[in-house]
Amino acid sequence: MATLSDEVDLLRRIPLFAAIDPAKLKLLAFASDRMIYNDGQAVFRQGEVGDAAYVVVKGSADIVVETDGGEIVVANAKEDAVIGEIAILCDVPRTATVRAKGELVVLKIKKEHFLGLIMDFPKLGIQVMRELALRLSNTTAELTNARREIEQQKSA
């Protein structure tokens, strides 16, 4: 069983939360819930309302987008990753399904606590924006490469 001190240490090692005052991290850890998911179990599903962000404590999870042609695994979240923040930051439905790959332990941070941290620590907001911009850049590059491959196949 993890202690409050363990949860604070966990949050402190995550680059996104590293610069936050230890007392604030203690409050965040206290207000968060440790959740355990079994292999294949969904943490949340695409289209659901976003009520929390999650920090991967142990294990990994597939980020899956549901399309008309079936599911596509677009990424894998590993230890210390923050997932689910897009829906709470943008007030949009979940953009993907997150599914445990093996046993997955996460720390669930409610929307109001996550947003409160960003308001109290503007540098955290900048870090989140940078992370989201990096993800967008990577996705754009992958889409460009996929489009190029499709065009090459068409012309062959």
Q: 96-111, pLDDT tens digit by residue?
A: 999 999 999 999 999 9
Q: How far apart are CA 104 and CA 40, in angstroms?
A: 10
**With contact defined as beta carbons under 8 Å apart, do 131 and 50 qualify?**
no
pLDDT tens-digit series, residues 31-42: 889 999 999 999
* Separation between Cα atoms, residue 77 and residue 100, nearest integer Å: 9
Mean pLDDT of 43-60: 94
Question: For residue 43, how many other CB atoms are within 10 A of its CB?
Answer: 21
**Residues recorded for the chain:** 156
CATH number where 137 lies: 2.60.120.10
First to last CA, the chain: 59
What's the number of domains the chain is made of? 1
For the residues 47-69, what does the mean pLDDT come to? 93
State the CB neighbour count (10 A cutoff) for residue 101: 17
Percent of the chain surpassing pLDDT 70? 99
| Opening angle at CA 141, ends 133 and 143, nearest 5 | 110
Tokens of 63: 């980020």
What is the extent of the structural domain holding 47? Answer: 4-155
